[in-house]
Amino acid sequence: MEYGLIFIILACLFGFFMAWGVGANDVANAMGTSVGSKAITVKQAIIIAAIFEFAGAFLAGGQVTATIRKGIIDADVVSGTPELLVYGMLASLLAAGIWLLIASRFGWPVSTTHSIVGAIVGFAAVGIGMDVVQWSKVGAIAMSWVVSPLLAGSIAFALFISVQKLILGTEDPLANAKRYVPVYIFFVGFVIALVTIFKGLKHVGLQLSTAESYSVAVLVGIVTAAIGVMMIKRLKFDPEADRDFHFTNVEKIFAVLMMITACAMAFAHGSNDVANAIGPVAAVVSIVQNDGMVAQKSTLPLWILALGGLGIVIGLMTYGKKVMLTIGTQITELTPSRGFAATLAAATTVVLASGTGLPISTTHTLVGAVLGVGLARGIAAINLNVVRTIFISWVVTLPAGAILSIIFFFIFKGIFS
């Protein structure tokens, strides 16, 4: 294929730029609740995200990639003109990357999934033809954008109510926190282990039966809970501290839980959202390597997963602070117990979605979860102005991605053909 090497280099550069945007915008949402509830510092958030985002992307990032890459465009229609698909994928990565840069600059938590889906649909519909887009697939993806915030919001609401009933609303909240928090920690370990086994270990080549999978997940849950119990035992409690704020010591215990849920959320996010950046890269590499053959399925080289994971980490380190503050401090006031409910609900929803291969938006999920926790305390606890701005930025994301991608598509077409 003429210009093959140039295409691969451009795909890697733009894919890295897009992954950088995922890091700057999306990981910042995933970590925002932990930072906003003062459970961890910004520096700790970056270290946790670096390790667990990369692990999630690298170990469990293979499943969702297929949905983005081959689900939206009908490969058979473009098999005669593979170069159009290459221009389109390059244009989509660049368009989505630029939109994420703009959004992160203003501290808007937008959806990286929206950005790339909008970009791909845009160039395909205008540059190739309406019939090349599989609109039923796009419909299913759009549905998941409504379902995910509702599901996460409901789970977060239920979790926080359970925390109020079992711990905060009792005679001795501190004793009950010591008793019940390890159970929540077990649940976190169990959920994340389950998704890794079902989703992630396929392309590493580990095959476990369902019974084995659940046994391993239970084991991981028990180990995680044991680590949590050890961390709680090392805490110093000061009875005086409870005078100003009744739950100061209880929230210390939840801060431990928050650390563990932050790791879980980072892992879940890396596994789900690395696909947005590397799906198109994998498509370009596959077309070039197969001399212009548009394959419906191509194996995902591990170096591409690593490239995506690295980009995400660097994006968070260099530019993630603004969006972190929006999610963590501006929607509703978060304490570690509230932040935990939101993060665990969001992680559970993302895990369920990766399990079904639906490219949901982590952002929508997390904002839905934070709203759910806010609503558990009454509508007055939510800053409606911030929520309005976030919703508007969500609506703008699809057309913004599409328009930018159409422009770049015709520029690449002009240069290379």
Quote the Cα angle for 93-30-299, to 5°: 45
CA 336, CA 334: separation in Å to the nearest integer? 7
pLDDT one digit per residue (tens) for the chain, 417 residues: 778 889 999 999 999 999 999 888 887 777 887 887 777 888 888 888 888 888 887 776 665 555 555 567 777 777 788 888 899 999 999 999 999 999 988 888 888 888 988 999 999 999 888 888 888 888 877 787 788 888 889 999 899 899 889 988 888 888 898 899 899 989 888 887 876 676 655 555 667 777 888 899 999 999 999 998 998 888 888 777 776 666 788 888 888 888 888 887 788 778 777 777 888 888 888 888 887 776 656 567 778 888 888 898 888 888 887 777 777 777 777 788 888 888 888 878 877 776 676 767 778 888 888 888 888 777 777 888 888 888 888 888 888 999 999 999 999 999 988
| 332 touches 383 (CB < 8 A) | yes
| 326 touches 109 (CB < 8 A) | yes
H or E element in which residue 31 lies? helix 28-36
**What is residue 226's predicted lDDT score, i.e. its pLDDT?**
93
**What is residue 375's predicted lDDT score, i.e. its pLDDT?**
83
> For residue 304, what are its two tokens?
């591409």
Domain coordinates in residue numbering, the chain: 4-166+268-416
Helices 362-375 and 248-289, packing angle to 10 deg: 160
CA 305, CA 218: separation in Å to the nearest integer? 28
What letter does residue 70 receive in the DSSP assignment?
A: H
> Measuring CA to CA, which residue among 309, 315, 304, 217 is closest to residue 270?
309
Phi, psi for 133 (deg, rounded to 5): -85, 130
What letter does residue 221 receive in the DSSP assignment?
A: H
CA 90, CA 101: separation in Å to the nearest integer? 17
**How many C-beta atoms lie closer than 10 Å to residue 202's C-beta?**
13
DSSP-based three-state secondary structure for 133: strand
What's the residue count for the chain?
Answer: 417
| 272 touches 307 (CB < 8 A) | no
**What is residue 98's predicted lDDT score, i.e. its pLDDT?**
96
> For residue 75, what are its two tokens?
């490969």
Phi, psi for 61 (deg, rounded to 5): -90, 0
DSSP-based three-state secondary structure for 15: helix
